Structures are given as C-alpha cells and as structure tokens.
Structure 1
Amino acid sequence: MTTGFFDGIDKVRYEGPDSDNPLAYRHYNPDEVILGKRMEEHLRFACAWWHSFAWEGGDPFGGLTFERPWHPQDSMANAKLKADVALEMFDILGQPFFCWHDADLRPEQGSYGENLATLDEITDYIGAGMEGRDLGCLWGTANMFSHRRWMAGASTNPDPEVFAYAAATVKGCMDATMKLGGQNYVLWGGREGYETLLNTDMGQELDHMGRFLSMVVDYKHKIGFKGTILVEPKPQEPSKHQYDYDAATCIGFLRKYGLENEVKLNLEQGHAILAGHSFEHELAVAASEGMLGSIDMNRNDYQSGWDTDQFPNNVPEVALAYYHVLKAGGFDTGGTNFDAKLRRQSIDPVDLIAGHVGGMDVCARGLKAAAAMLEDGGLEDALAGRYADWQTERGQGILASDLESLQAQVLREGLDPQPRSGRQERLENYVNRFV
C-alpha cells in the first residue's frame, strides 16, 4: 500500500542520451563501469531529508508555499507519513542513500527527553522501512541552528548549559545514525560564529568548539562507530562570520586541536560560492591535505546573495568537481548528497522527482567527463610539464639551498629568468572538449 503522494509516477530508469522522456535518466546508468567501478559506486547519491520533505517552501521574505499531506509537521503520525513518502521517492529514483537532521525526522516536542524519545521512535520506523530495500544512511546530523536556544551558537555558546544541551543532542543523533547504519556523522555549525565582536570572546569560543569536537571523536570510538566524522565549512548566513568559513579554515582548526587524523570535510558547492571560492578550489584544498570526505551537491544563483540550494545544472562545473574527487581516489564512506531544494513555485510532487532526475544526470555526465579527462591525461601532463624543472638536480638544489647561497648563485650566473606562459586558454579549450 502506497501513500498516493507520487501516484502516476513510475520508477525512473536509464533510457540513454537520445531519450526525450523528462522522467528518465539520460546519463545516469548505475551499472555503467567507469575507471573500473560502477557509476552508482562512484557517485553514491543521497537525498536530503530536510529540503525534500521537511522544507515548506519559505524564503527570507515569505513562508509556506508547499501544501504536503504531512503538514503540519507536529505529530508522530505525520512524521511517519513523511517517512513513508520519502521511502517511496527513494524507490522511484533508485537513490542508494539519504541524509537527515534530527529535526527533519521528528516533531518538536519541547523537552530534550521527549525529542529523544520521538527521534528513537521515528528512526526505528525508518529502519524497519529500510528492510528489504537496497537503501542506506549516508549520514546523520543535529539541527543546532533553528530553535531559539541556538541563537548564540551551540558548542560556542556563552552559556555552559547550552553547550551541555548540544552535547546531549549530538550523542542522541550519533546513536540514531549508528542504528540506521550511517556511514558518516556530520557536524555543521550553522550558528558557530558571531554577529559582533563587542560581545564575543573568539578565543574561548574556538577552544570550546575544539573541545566539543574532541568529545564527539571520543564518543565515536567508545561506541565503535566505524563511519567518518565530518565537518561542513560555511562562511556566513546566518552568522556575520562563522568559524568554519572554508576548507582551509577548517583544516587549520582541526590541526590546532589535534583532530586532523580523526575528522574530514563535507564540502558543499553553494558554501564554496558564499566563501568566494569555486567548488573545485574547496575540493582541491581538502584533497591536498587528505581530508576530502563527502560532498553536498547543489548550486547557488550567482545573482543572489544567499544560499539558494538549487539542483545542479552546470556540467562543466560539476565535471571539474568530480575531476578532483576522482583524482583524490574517489569516495570512501562519503558520497554525493543533494543538499538541494525545489523553487518555492515548484509545488507539484512530480517537480521533486524531476529535480533529482536532472541533478543526477548532470552529475553522471560530469563524472563521465572527469573520468575521460583523467584517462586522457592532458591536464596531468600539462601540470607535470609546468613544474618539471623542480624535478631536476638543479631545481632540487635550489629548494634545498638558503638565501645567501641563492643570492651568490644569481650573481655568479647572472640569472635573469623570463616569464613562461601559463597556457590557461589552451587548458580551458582542452576541458571543453570533454564537457
């Protein structure tokens, strides 16, 4: 028996590039082998419970536009209906994973104890629904930014009792993630930052954030959680400045508190843009330090100043992102989570399917282009050629020298090095051959 929410919508299947069926995959063929691995295993798609099912269509200037059968989201009966609809959508799309915040799954009950009980109840219900399905939990996390108690942060809050409440909340969510077989646990500091330095002790807040994350790692080992702990960089919105600004900032933070071997990064395309970076930049930074864990795939509207979380539709951008993922060895416990939501005018159930179908196809097309570039080796050859002189005896000697010796060498040899072309246009043309 189905909920009827997706009545008339069949299971989405791969039909090939020439298909004109708007609800068919043109590029996402889960069984296609790329670089020795099935496409499904490369991409490891996940659906975001919050945007697909919990989000009501609001924006900074207006509220609910979606009218769903599980609204209002204030009872366990509606939470279970929402879960049933989610499981039906995963069946239709063939997505192997999902991700969640605690507040997406359960109704807000008021007290911590009541919320913990309803989280336990709903995750038992979802777990039962997963039986017999080829479906897993990519990661879980705690919503510690929406409720008014988090307005001054969670682990960075000036109130010790809020810190304690946050610790209890994360413990409950880690337990639930482990129960659902989650492959990662994510911490996203939505309000771990400040609005004004007039009332902020930044050093103390960062120390508390480091201590909190150490507690999370300790608990992971205590319960035998085999997944990866991930932190998600985001520069702003809602805080004026957030401590997890970008990949480089998070890596510096992890190294400062001795957590660089315990925690990796979950990187989002939209957050990269808010930080003034490209997604490929963030991926390359994390990969260079061995800290690339997982990704949230979406896009921002380049004319808007906030995190619009749209489904991806730019194959060249996505191809360069997966190029760095593949170059780093691909995903281990991580995957591609669609932290993407419909436009608030897209109110029909079929729009939710179409958004995911389009996003999955864009990622699949980008993955194929990235793999083709890696197999061709043109970018790698160009990169090796640009730095080739560093591999010579002369180059290594310069690197091992000191200022006085190098000054003497320049004077002795009359060195006057001339600039060399970076060949950017030729490399951009090369990439365009594949996308």
Structure 2
Amino acid sequence: MSSFAPAAKRPKRGKASADSEAFPDIKRIEYKPDAKPDDLLCFKHYNAKEEIYGKTMEEWLRFSVCYWHTFRGTGADPFGYPTLIRPWEDGDDSMEIAKARIRAAFEFFSKLGIKYWTFHDRDIAPEGETLEETNRNLDEISDLALELQKKHDVKLLWGTANLFANPRYMNGAGTNPDPHVLAYAGAQVKKMLEITKKLGGVNFVFWGGREGYQTILNTDVKRELDHMAALFKMAVDYKKKIGFTGQLLIEPKPKEPTKHQYDYDAQTVIGFLKTYNLDGDFKLNIEPNHTTLAGHGYEHDVIVASKLGFLGSVDSNTGSPDLGWDTDQFPMDVKGATLVMKAILEQDGLTPGGLNFDCKVRRESTDLEDMFVSHIGAMDTFARGLRNAVRILTEGLLPTAVKERYSGFDTGIGKKVEDGKATLEELEQYVIEHGEPAVLSGRQERYETLLNRYV
C-alpha cells in the first residue's frame, strides 16, 4: 500500500459536476473472446459467470479495485510533480471533491464489472482540524459510499486505517516511542473498524507502513513489538465488542519506507502472531511485489501463507525486480498468476479475501482509458492463470510428480517421522539396516518444463 500525494501539490483544474458522468466515452466492459489484438476495452479471457473447477470465475478471482492508487494516485514521485489530473479533481482536498471522486469510483467499478473495493480512511475523506471533525467527515462520505454500494451492487472487500502518511506517524504508529501517538493510532483503528462494519466489509487490514526502524541505535525492538501486539489485541477485543465478523489481516513488507519493517515476510509475521498468541485472530494479506522485495520469488509468500493456513487475501500486483523498490505495477505475467492461482485453488479459494489490485498506472499513463486498460489486462492475466492452474490440477502431472518425490514419507520410517513418532535411535537403526541412501535427482528442469507446457 502506498499513500497519495498531498492535494495541495496538484495543479488547479476546473470543478466537474458531482452528478456528471466521469467516463462518458467508456461503456461497460464485456467479454469478447474473439476480440482483435487492438480491441483493449474488453475481456478476452475473463468471463465472470463461466463455471470452472466448481465455481464461477468471479467467485474464484474476487477482483477488487483499490481506492488509494486508482482514485487518489497522482503520478507524483520523488523526482516529479503530479501528472494524473482527473476531471473530477480541482486541487482541493474538500468534502465536495471527495463526493465527486467517490461517485466517479463507483461508476468505474460498475463499468469494469468489479464487485469489490478497498480503501484507507484518509483516502475517501479529508482530515479535519480535530479527530472529531475528521470522524464526522468520514461518517458523511461513508454514508454516501453505502448508498453507492447498494446502487451498483459493489461490496467492501476490506477497510484499513492510514497509520503512516501523517507526520505524526513518522516514528511509527503502534511501535511509536510516544504513547500519545499510539493512542491516536488506536483511535483511528477504532473508527475504521466501525466504518468497515457499517459498509459490510468482510476483512480489515493492517499494513505497518512505518512499523520498523531506520537505525537500531535508538530502537528498543522488544518494547516496540510488545506495543504493536498490544494494539492488535485491542483491535481484536473491539472487533468482538462491536460484532464485526470480518477477518483481520496483516500485510507483510520487508522495507520502505523504513530500513527494516517488523512485518518482513509471511514467515516473520506468522512467527510474530504465534509469539503473541494472535494466530487465531489474524491471517495474511500477501502482496507479491512485497515478496520480491524480501528477496523471494513472486509466488513464495502466497504459497507459504497458504500451506501454513494463513493466506487470507492477495494484493495482486507486481514490481520491477531490476529496480528493487515498490513500484506497484499491474500484474501482466501469466506464469506468476498461474502459480498464485494454483495455490488459491488448492486451498479452495480466498473467501472472504480476494485479489485486490493494489496497483497504479505509470505516471506517464495519463489517459482515463489507461485506468480501464490496466485493470482489464490484469484481470485477463489472472483469468489465464486460473485456467492454467485448473489444467495443472486436473491433469495432475505436476502434483503427481511432487507427491512421488516425497512418497518415502508415506510409509515406514518416513511416516513415523512425519507423524512425530520417530526417535533418533530408530533413525540410527534404520541407517544401519539399509546402508547409504540412494541420492535421487531433483529434476528441476523437468518441473520447469512441465509448468511451461501449461503457460
């Protein structure tokens, strides 16, 4: 997740009417499998109602649009001013513009045919002079959001609190050395849990954007982790108190904006949850772009989280490994999408999570049409990945090869090891009786070639 650039840095534009159509030249995106290569305002592979592997594509993929990049992104970067000036913006972070913006967003969701959306509290409503004023703003805009959800048949996949953009959080939120700042973070989480429940959200995400350190010299790691766990436990308690039944999620990321973040990767977060007895209350929202920043393969954290029972949702984007920083690009690599969808199929889906496009168009992609084409391309990519994964599992060649590789653990001494019933004495006796083990080929190239036959 990334924050948006301050509205004050945007060039002024004339105001658009809140009731005017934001995308008058774009019709509802349809499925056209025979579309020509240059017909990009249609789906060539994603057929929402098509049944595949026991569910519809729409049910397997559960696509979601993120509000912060798609409707608060400006194209600004550390070296340049905003480039994405939308017709419904005028440079002000006002309630009037917030309402025009969210109406444009739901028109976008509807024309794209996407059933879910996600947002931070500060994405949809401006901060006021006080917490009370800020909360009133959030109440007013979320009232409108609720109306628009009903009108367009769109649901909230998850809500989250922006605990990283405001200068008060420069030293962290839950891990801040000042309890006053932690208290403010707690107040934001409380309100956003209420808003997420109000909008029927089915998940709530924590992303520790600044929960880490820049230098270990001024950091008490143990106390910071204790305080972050305490904040999570308060969230669990309040969730139960207000009757919010959604899934709580944590999104791992190894670095940026801090030198080191405590939610480094899936295994680190799972270890944290088990250490503080929170593993029964939280699952993970995995962003593959963050996974590659941690030095893993694109699909690694999705598979690890899934196999350990912690995969709750996926922020489906990608990055440029050659750059080595968080670029939040739209996923266009079919092989990566295939491996992610294979993991999702093997755990029988992501519900109540989904595939949230935590992506932003490039600062050079300034046309409104680019907003649609980017999402269409990513949706088609995952649709192809779904089809490939279904073939892999249905034909069984790759799963069978993996199963055979570990078949020694299905019987005898291997099964005793797997069941936790073997002793070191038994292992020694087994080697004495059977001698030196035969070293079997890992056949890496065989597995890679098998995958390529499907992609």
Alignment TM class, shorter chain as reference: over 0.9
Taking structure 1 as the reference length, the TM-score comes to 0.97
Following superposition, the deviation at residue 398 of structure 1 comes to: 5.9
Partner of residue 421 from structure 1, selected from 435, 438, 441: 441
Whether the 8 Å CA contact 1:19–1:26 is kept in 2: the answer is no
Provide the residue aligned with 2:223 in structure 1: 204
Provide the residue aligned with 1:410 in structure 2: 431
Distance in 1, Cα, partners of 2:68 & 2:174: 22
Matches within 5 A, 1:30-429: 30-68=48-86, 69-397=88-416, 400-413=421-434, 415-429=435-449
Percent of residue pairs identical: 47
For 1:218, what is the secondary structure of its paired residue? helix
| Alignment-mate amino acid for residue 110 of structure 1 | E
2:34 equivalent to 1:13: no
Q: Structure 1: any 5+ residue segments left out of the alignment?
A: none
- CA displacement 1:150-195 (0-9 Å, x = unmatched): 0000000000010110000011111111111101000000000000
Superposition RMSD on alpha carbons, in Å? 1.4
Distance in 1, Cα, partners of 2:90 & 2:344: 38
2:40 equivalent to 1:22: yes
Distance in 2, Cα, partners of 1:330 & 1:239: 33
- CA displacement 1:8-31 (0-9 Å, x = unmatched): 111100001544311000001001
Out of 52-61 and 66-75, give the one that drifted further: 66-75
Distance in 1, Cα, partners of 2:146 & 2:214: 40
Whether the 8 Å CA contact 1:230–1:265 is kept in 2: the answer is yes
Whether the 8 Å CA contact 2:207–2:252 is kept in 1: the answer is yes
Distance in 1, Cα, partners of 2:417 & 2:167: 58
2:3 equivalent to 1:3: no
Following superposition, the deviation at residue 408 of structure 1 comes to: 4.0
Whether the 8 Å CA contact 1:17–1:27 is kept in 2: the answer is no
Q: Where has structure 1 moved over 6 Å in runs of 4 or more?
A: none
Distance in 2, Cα, partners of 1:432 & 1:409: 39
Distance in 2, Cα, partners of 1:71 & 1:270: 32
For 2:299, what is the secondary structure of its paired residue? helix
Distance in 1, Cα, partners of 2:344 & 2:430: 41
Out of 166-175 and 419-428, give the one that drifted further: 419-428
Following superposition, the deviation at residue 2 of structure 1 comes to: 5.2
For 2:151, what is the secondary structure of its paired residue? coil
Provide the residue aligned with 1:433 in structure 2: 453
| Alignment-mate amino acid for residue 250 of structure 1 | V
Out of 392-401 and 382-391, give the one that drifted further: 392-401
Q: Structure 2: any 5+ residue segments left out of the alignment?
A: 1-17
| Alignment-mate amino acid for residue 406 of structure 1 | L
Distance in 2, Cα, partners of 1:19 & 1:316: 23
Distance in 2, Cα, partners of 1:412 & 1:422: 25
Are the structure 2 counterparts of residues 189 and 416 from structure 1 closer, same or farther at C-alpha, using a change threshold of 3 Å? same
Whether the 8 Å CA contact 1:231–1:265 is kept in 2: the answer is yes
